[in-house]
A and B are shown apart, each in its own frame.
Chain A
Amino acid sequence: MTTAPVAGPADSAPPSVPAAAKQLTTTQETLYFALRNRKLVFGASVTIALLAFAIVGPLIARHGPLDYTGHLSWAPTTRYGHWFGTTLLGQDVFAQFATGLRLAFLVGVVGGGIAAVIAMLIGFTAGYRGGALDEFLNMITNIVLVIPTFALLLVIAAYLQVRSVLVEAVLIGITSWPWAARAVRAQTFSLVSRDFVDMARLSGRSQMQIIFTEIAPNMSSYLFMMFILLFGGAVLIAATLDFIGLGPSGTISLGMMMQLSVQNAALQLHLWWWFLPPGIAIAMLVGSLYVMNVGLDEVFNPKLREM
């Protein structure tokens, strides 16, 4: 991804100086391509629709997600508000689904957010400072990268007697940053030697200022896409952890819905309304995030646009 001389007006790392005069046109152009990009529009609409559901769903559910209604194994119906049916034990699937979706967003935002912050801290420092500090941070990154996050989470979560969604999200966040840190470091590295950073340095600004006013804004699109991927990854990891039996206590998540349905032989009993929704929701959420990511990549990097 070297910058070719033929680079378009909105290259992945546009020179900041001449942009001032054409600021409006660049923004307009980005917006134009963003709205015209079918992948981005599709991904964003699905994500927003799911988010809306996660916010509204638990409010309109007629039962608590863990309440036993006494209506065992009902297929989806309008009676008693069991729109998604009930489980073998008589819990309302709609309420569980809505709660689980809400938790999935929480885990994604918190887990992905923490991972993104750590990745930026390490990536910026390593890429900007270089030298021995870079070597050291690189070493740490490589170690955490090699240790399988999931296996580590498994051991930690297994030893926690009471598990909360927030703790789970934090654990996921502090273990899933390495690849992102590497990416940020590489990007920083390529920006550090640019003239505008040298100019900033000559003007006597502090390191922090340079990183946050010169380097970070020039890779903001990249950082945003990184967050999206970390978000999706956190949702998937949480679902798998919950499925293995390490889900949060006292509530229900999408992964736990799948676990309980398998455990209670929902497959053999053909209770499809129990195990279909959680997987569909996760696949839709993560899939739309990924598709949105590709769309953003195409918007910000003109070379990738389809001709």
Chain B
Amino acid sequence: MRRYFLRKIVVYTVTFIVAVTVDWAIPHLMPGNPVLTLMGRIQIQDPQTAQNMYHHYMRAFNLDLPLWKQYWYFWVSLFHGDLGTSIVQFPAPVSSIIVHAVPYTLALLIPATLLSWYAGNKVGALAARRKVLDNSALPVGYALTATPYMWLAIILVFVFAVTLGWFPVGFAYDPTAVRGFTWSFISNLAYHWFLPFLSLFLVAFGGWAIGMRNMIIYELESDYAHYLESLGAPQKLVRKYAFRNAVLPQVTGLALALGAILAGALATEIVFSYPGLGYQIYRAITNEDYFVIQGIFLFIIIGILVANFIVDIVYLVIDPRTRVGMEGGRT
């Protein structure tokens, strides 16, 4: 068990270092001086202001220092929670932009991921080897999981918001709503939250259902299942055991799928103009606000690492093999 955790921590630490290094290196690897590119985009007329801006950026990037020092300062400022300053939303620091956006993203991501995982596994397990259910659930599941997240979001907006008018077209709350911890504001938030949540949920659900369905078929055809059947165990019991074994790879899959679901959440937010990380990234990309993009990347890495670690702990609880030191499942 200690070995298990030690391995994980080593991998995550190295991953973090690699990710930060890549994040730092990308702007340096690209041709051209990023500051000049930025200056060109802003188009300041007054030479004095331009000069000041140039120096400000050179200092902000630490571009006047030798490379190793630049790298070192990147780490120092990272540990001070300093991710730079947004150019478009000047003078807002990137960290505060992230802090304001994260709750919205998490509010979509966490419920959609957990609920789709749970529901998908249940439905997938039910559908496996049951002719009628399988024939209806399987095509639906494949259609859902093959659908690009943003496209399902577009369809939901078009049908339920634009055409039927049941839900708002976008944003996290009405611009006229009074913000506060009141029932009316919270219900307003929930009302705006539902469609983006639903579109994320549906696509992810399809993937989980398919995964579980295929996994359970493997399990039902395995030796222990056949043995149990030959002993005369009821089908329900065999399925129960198969499910418990099939759920293990699905937990691993949860860690692997996080990146894809996150990408989906970012794209979904853009469709709904939902003010989470995805929307901020979109704004940053259309305005070439590089600090924001880099900052959000680092934040996402940290989030993914934490999520992976949680999955590891869950795995430890549900798979006894990892506890007794056998190399089960995830290594």
Contact = CB atoms under 8 A, between A and B. Distances in A.
Interface of A: 1-2, 4, 138-139, 142-143, 145-152, 154-156, 158-161, 179, 232, 236-237, 239-240, 243-246, 255, 258, 261-262, 267-268, 270, 272, 275, 278-279, 282-287, 289-291, 294, 297, 303-304
A146 B304 contact: yes
Given A146-B11, A150-B260, A287-B143, A279 B155 contact: yes
B263 interface: yes
Contact of A246 (B143, B149, B262, B285): B285
Given A4-B223, A148-B262, A283 B143 contact: yes
B11 A143 contact: yes
Contacts of B297: 151-152, 154-155
Contacts of A258: 148, 150-151, 154
A9 to B, nearest CB: 16
Nearest to A5: B223
B256 A244 contact: no
Given A147-B15, A147-B18, A275 B154 contact: yes
Which of A143, A151, A161 has the most chain B CB atoms inside 10 A of its CB? A151
A243 B217 contact: no
B162 A160 contact: no
B228 to A, nearest CB: 14
Interface stretch (B105-113, B233-241, B264-272): B264-272
A268 B154 CA distance: 11
B214 interface: yes
What are the 7 tightest A-B residue pairs by CB atom distance, in nearest-first order?
A279-B151, A287-B146, A148-B259, A150-B263, A286-B146, A151-B300, A283-B147
Given A138-B331, A262-B154, 5 more contacts: A154-B293, A244-B266, A270-B162, A283-B146, A285-B146
A239 B149 CA distance: 10
Nearest to A42: B139
A158 B158 contact: no
Given A143-B11, A279-B155, A158 B270 contact: no
A146 B308 contact: yes
B148 A147 contact: no
Nearest to A286: B146
Contacts of B195: none
Given A283-B151, A286-B146, A267 B162 contact: yes
A262 B142 contact: no
